[in-house]
Structure 1
């Protein structure tokens, strides 16, 4: 078990506050750490969300009684209220061995668990501007939603199939009539009813587009 550095390390403030909006701008906060021991220490800043933050400096050396300021920059991201309690920071410290003042990476890599001391975790607080409401998580799809969209797509497919079949019959009839006219058998040619014109090809495109949109909608609902 690692020891706590709270007895000699002072960290201010106790929470890191970041002000939004967070989607398009970098939000900054800062830490101040002070070494109240009588020995030089090395420190390292750690977070539960390393891809979201840029910390400068993220490690260094503090002599007895010395302080340093740490800049913490939150990179732009799509804010999710459910994530706000998952971001935390902590400071790890270790007494600096005699003569070890240069290669901190190697020092931390070779440190034993007994040497490393850890501070209490600091919670991150996200403050949205008054005119920017918190985004609500997406509502999970209801079973009825999927069923309704599926039935609509089925109905559209049946309509497309029916129109295509009717159009095919009309085209065959028109071809037969043209052949009769060409052969001179005019007497046997019956007048076409008002509805015997082939369906407009644009109807296919419209129905196909509607069907495609419904298919995409089903995909989104299922996901």
Structure 2
């Protein structure tokens, strides 16, 4: 936008808004005249923005870059969707570059109708929110991903499963052994009740030998089950 003395671009200052970060934007002031032009940048929110430089001199045919920095914001402003802040670029022509280096005094003594002005609007660009790492409305898949991790150790999962199966088999055999022992005890009781004479071998009854062999057999199987070969 041209104010006769300076061409100011862009016409709207845009800030890519992020919390707790200083956000810069820039202005270009071009002097199309054959005179030196002094400028001054003002804003409706001086505590919110820092302008560098906020005053200066632009030589004929030259361009001066001005940086506008929005200070860190701790929370979203209420006018985030439609910012109400504004900037004003004032400029005056000077006959001599060294006429005055105190721009405050220079603008103060200048007649109001000789000061040209350019008004600028402000807008915020809000970055898109990053996608959620967990798909919405897909809790089943989320639970599945947790379950698929397996037990600690990774490659030991199969060994653990086989070990558990072996222990279960050993427990089953132990119960069967108990049942066989119970049956043998019943048989021995029946034989004793009839006062039958049972042949003995080396001082032991045949029933005792049978019971001992049966227990030894199951103990052997039980031991092999508890110590499977991997």
Name the TM-score, length of structure 2 as normaliser: 0.51
Distance 1:101 1:67 in 2: 20
Paired residues for 1:30-109 under 5 Å: 30-77=26-73, 78-82=75-79, 84-98=82-96, 99-109=98-108
Which residue does the alignment assign to 1:7?
A: 4
Name the TM-score, length of structure 1 as normaliser: 0.53
TM-aligned CA deviation for residue 7 of structure 1: 2.6
Paired residues for 1:189-200 under 5 Å: none
Equivalenced residue count is 127
Which residue does the alignment assign to 1:112?
A: 111
Contact 1:5 1:93 (C-alpha < 8 Å) held by counterparts: no
Which residue does the alignment assign to 1:142?
A: none
3-state SS, counterpart of residue 82 of structure 1: coil
Residue 137 of structure 2 corresponds to residue 129 of structure 1: no
1:83-119 CA distances to partner (integer Å, 9 max, x unpaired)? 6431111210011143514222211222221221111
Distance 2:120 2:83 in 1: 11
Which structure has more RCO (C-alpha within 8 Å, separation ≥ 6)? 1
TM-aligned CA deviation for residue 81 of structure 1: 3.9
**Higher radius of gyration, 1 or 2:** 2
Runs ≥4 residues deviating over 3 A: none
Unaligned stretches of 5+ in structure 2?
A: 131-230
Cα RMSD for the two superposed structures: 2.0
Which moves more between the two structures, 71-80 or 82-91?
82-91
Which residue does the alignment assign to 1:146?
A: none
Distance 2:13 2:28 in 1: 11
Which residue does the alignment assign to 2:227?
A: none
TM-aligned CA deviation for residue 80 of structure 1: 2.1
